Amino acid sequence: MSDRPKMMQRVAFGDTLVQLGEQNPHIVVLDADISSSLYTVHFAQRFPDRHINFGVAEQNMLIGAAGLATIGLVPLACTYATFATMRACEQIRSFICYAKLNVKIVCSHGGIEVGWDGPTHHGTEDVAMMRSMPNMHVVVPADAIATSALIRQVVDQDGPFYFRMGRNPTPLIYTKEQQFTIGKAIELCDGEDVTLVAMGVMVSVALDAVEILARQGIRARLLDMHTVKPLDGEALLEAANITPLVVTLEDHNVIGGLGSAVAEFLSGCHPMPVLRIGVPDVFTESGDPALLFQKFAMDAQSVAARVEKALRELD
């Protein structure tokens, strides 16, 4: 398996946020009493007059973000994935997306990678909720370098964005020279036997699975679908025309997230088998993230085994 160095995405976000604050005086940061966790504390220290802590009141924070956007500011509302999307769902839908306001909702702690915090903190429905809302963009970076590059683009583009990060240190996949474009997937591996489409922390898992499959003589193509909405249909269609099977990987419920987005797209233009790997339709549980990934067959070994089985069944 890979021994790539690791870094937390939220650390990269916090560092980049200060740089963006120096470049753009219209940026304001909103917190829900977890500025230390999301590393927005550095922005608060550097720009105290452009930071507002709403306390444990996510609904108020999102309403406040909407108001700030109406006067030309660029608010970044920061909290955990489950609290922003579920607790403040109505505020996001009716006051931000409906009005197409320039609000950036930046969340960490997406998925079961949160581990011991348990199902109340496992954001496994957030992508499904956010991508179902008109005008919303959904961006899920794979590592710290992607986090820094993509948050810059999110801030530069107008309109509502949902930006989702994990909690734990993740392997560094990219170099600083890598080019990122919102709405354009990145092909990390080329292959003709199967296409893996992954988002967020599952991109690193997919890379390890590609290595395992290669030892079995299976050549896997891998797409980092860092933008779930708008989806890169061109890259998907190209892969679908080359490989007989598409496999999606997400640290999210298999209902409504990346797998659903990919299946929906392909069903309309290139019907084919799609294997969705992620959290099944169950409530999760507390535990070591590595053990949870194994329990739900989301670790690299399980992914490779599931892909090999699916390919065998196609023959």
Asked if residues 49 and 28 have their Cβ atoms less than 8 Å apart, the reply is no
Give the angle 207-213-217 at the CA atoms, nearest 5°: 135
Task: Count how many residues are written for the chain.
Answer: 315
- Give the residue carrying structure tokens 């892969």: 239
Catalytic-role residue among 22, 58, 234, 264: 58
Whether 58 sits among the annotated catalytic residues: the reply is yes
Written as six digits, the tokens of 48 are 């105290």
Q: What is the distance between the alpha carbons of residues 127 and 82, in angstroms, rounded to a whole number?
A: 10
Instruction: Please name which of 141, 139, 144 lies closest in space to residue 126, comparing C-alpha atoms.
Output: 139
Can you list the alpha helix ranges (DSSP code H) found in 24-137?
41-46, 58-69, 81-82, 89-91, 126-131
Query: Residue 49: is it exposed, middle or buried by C-beta count within 10 angstroms (0-12/13-18/19+)?
Result: exposed
What are the C-alpha distances in Å from 20 to residues 7, 40, 46, 183?
A: 20, 12, 12, 22
Q: What is the distance between the alpha carbons of residues 264 and 271, in angstroms, rounded to a whole number?
A: 9
What lies within 8 Å, CB to CB, of 269 at 6+ separation is 233, 237
Which residues have a catalytic role annotated?
A: 58
